[in-house]
Amino acid sequence: RTAFTVPPVTVSATAVSGQRAGVTAYGRPGEILTVTGVNWASSLGTGDFTAAFCAVGGGSCDADASSNLTTNGSGDLAGSVTIPSGATTGARALKVTHSGRSALYNFRVMGVRSISLSPASGGLGQPVDITTTDFDPLAAVTIRGITNLTGPTYSTDPAIQGQISASGVLQSYPYIVNDKDTAYIQVSENSPDGDPTTDKAYAAFSPLSASVFINSVTGQRTGVTGYARVGDQVVVGGAGFVVSRASGTITALFCAANGSGCDPAATNSLSTNGSGDLSGSVTVPSGTTTGSRSLKVVVGSGEAFTPLTILGTRTVTITGDVGALGLPITVTASNFDPGAPVQIRSASSVSGATPVYTSDTPISGTITSTGTLTATSYTPFSPGAIVVVETAAGGGDPAVDWAAAPFNSLVPGTTLSLQTYKAASNATNTGVDFGSITSPKQPTPLSGDLNQIQVIDQRYGSFGWSLTATLSNFVGTRVNMSKSVLAITPICTTIGTASAPGATPGGSNQNFATPVTLCTKDTQTGSGDTTSGVYNIDGALTLTVPAFQSSGVYTAIMTVTLA
């Protein structure tokens, strides 16, 4: 008996379609392996073999793969096997079988190329680690940013080169994103071994939209973030900027509300950390444009802005009949802290660091969201200045958060004067209107109001005065009417505690047939040992129309004398 050994059958790949020359150890579904082998039965046809991709060792096989295998007369195997769609990926083995005899060839079935990013979003300048899956082992690759997949359109960041290891791991430095429009990061295999147009994968990357916000404003009350003044420090935060930028490399500007039309760059202490978070402060420079503005921060190619109102110097404006003590004036203000509670007060002096307030009763108001005080009525009883001051209750500092306008009514001098102010029932401050009436059948009274007369005595000595009035006859369209038809009951009021006492109104129901006395002031002195002061004179007028008075328009001239 003669012993002999049956040699084992073999199978191996000599090429893989779709892979670069020399690649025989891996492939992807749809690619074709060119195979050879020995020690098979001779002269076998294509239907005599089965081929499948199995686990290493030959178990857990996928469905049979399409193959075209034959042997020649010496039992040499030749032909091809197509990697089927849906083949299990990873370390596998090609198993070829005929009549119970099988041969295995270790082979890696590759999946679809893919990459993952860590992090997948971040601030500009953020290093991004890239992990690859199913790229060709040992392939040289290019890493680039993409702004638009159509084309594609590449970012302005430079491409970097990398190398896939034998185990499929990407070997490269982290990719850094500085182009704010980057939407994807792509890894592509290089020519000639790969086809960059097809042998590639990309993953979405989201640069953090840069944002800036205001934490506080040094120089303003706690909680204020919406406005500032020249010299204030605006303490800011932010995110999504270029990472790790030191102070001195960042630009801060005060601009129009939409971020355009900026003033020159402002001094700042801004910096960013390794995550692109912004911190520091910006000083509002002298000459900064006031109004509704914005603070813009520029770091490399990233920028962001946030609304900020720049307030100018606080101002107070007085309108109306300035200088008349005891009568209302209209006060407005601008560039005060928005929303701040304020008081309107009289001050005898504003020449020092803080006003010297009088005993006049203050009134309260509130500054609008735009920093203005709407027209507010205020009645001063003391000379000097009108002050609008932010109150401590609202977080303001009354010692510094104020502005004033001069109010020059009672300034020591040598004059005795009067002014007139329109009564509500009259059209002007120089006329009295009694209205109209149908010619009566009996004497009929009509009522009117004397326009208010204010006597201002600035003589600051020991004096008195009298205020009298005379009247001409009424001149009509066709006939006249006697001045005796008019009578007055005057009222005389002393204004303010600084005015000397001793003012007395004339008698009731005085008839203008003769001169009437409106008010007299004796020589009594006040707290300042003078007879000076401010006095308001009003009066109720009665015009008695005679019976059957001829129709027409009647006018008379009243002459008021201060002596």
For 85-133, the pLDDT digits (tens) are: 999 999 999 999 999 999 999 999 999 999 999 989 877 777 899 999 9
Alpha-carbon distance 113 to 110, whole Å? 8
What pLDDT score was predicted for residue 411? 45
What pLDDT score was predicted for residue 35? 98
Name the CATH topology of 12-109. Answer: Immunoglobulin-like (2.60.40)
Alpha-carbon distance 330 to 435, whole Å? 30
Alpha-carbon distance 551 to 557, whole Å? 19
Cβ(434)–Cβ(446) below 8 Å:
yes
User: Architecture of domain 416-562 in CATH?
Assistant: Sandwich (2.60)
- CA dihedral (233, 234, 237, 239) in degrees, to 10, reads -120
Query: What CATH number labels 315-407?
Result: 2.60.40
Cβ(378)–Cβ(387) below 8 Å:
no
Cβ(462)–Cβ(523) below 8 Å:
yes
What are the strands of the beta sheet with 90-98, ordered from one edge? 26-27, 101-109, 90-98, 50-55
Alpha-carbon distance 195 to 179, whole Å? 26
HSE-CB for 34 with a 13 A CA cutoff: 10
Alpha-carbon distance 340 to 556, whole Å? 52
Alpha-carbon distance 147 to 153, whole Å? 6
Beta pairing class for 302-311 and 227-229: parallel
Alpha-carbon distance 390 to 403, whole Å? 9
Alpha-carbon distance 540 to 450, whole Å? 6
- What residues contact 332, with CB distance under 8 A and at least 6 apart? 316, 317, 319, 372, 373, 374, 375, 376
Q: Measured in whole angstroms, how far is the alpha carbon of residue 323 from the centre of its chain?
A: 42
User: Architecture of domain 114-207 in CATH?
Assistant: Sandwich (2.60)
Place of tokens 């500085």: 178
Nearest to 385 by CA among 403, 366, 412: 403
What are the strands of the beta sheet with 67-71, ordered from one edge? 12-16, 32-37, 77-82, 67-71
Nearest to 296 by CA among 334, 323, 256: 256
CA gyration radius for the chain? 50
Tokens of 356: 């010297």
What pLDDT score was predicted for residue 410? 47
Residues of the chain with pLDDT under 50: 321, 410-412
Alpha-carbon distance 422 to 428, whole Å? 6
Cβ(532)–Cβ(499) below 8 Å:
yes
Alpha-carbon distance 220 to 340, whole Å? 11
Query: What CATH number labels 213-311?
Result: 2.60.40.10
For 200-220, the pLDDT digits (tens) are: 999 999 887 889 999 999 878
Cβ(219)–Cβ(231) below 8 Å:
yes
Cβ(530)–Cβ(516) below 8 Å:
no
Cβ(394)–Cβ(221) below 8 Å:
yes
Alpha-carbon distance 127 to 478, whole Å? 102
Alpha-carbon distance 540 to 529, whole Å? 33
Nearest to 469 by CA among 423, 511, 532: 511
Alpha-carbon distance 526 to 488, whole Å? 29
pLDDT averaged over every residue in the chain = 90
Query: Within 10 A of 434 (CB to CB), how many other CB atoms are there?
Result: 18
Based on the number of CB atoms within 10 Å of its own CB, is 414 exposed (0-12), middle (13-18) or buried (19 or more)? exposed
What pLDDT score was predicted for residue 412? 47
Q: Measured in whole angstroms, how far is the alpha carbon of residue 197 from the centre of its chain?
A: 46
What pLDDT score was predicted for residue 2? 65
Query: Within 10 A of 340 (CB to CB), how many other CB atoms are there?
Result: 23
In a 3-state reduction of DSSP, which class is residue 114?
strand
Place of tokens 């109720």: 540
Domains of the chain, residue spans: 12-109, 114-207, 213-311, 315-407, 416-562
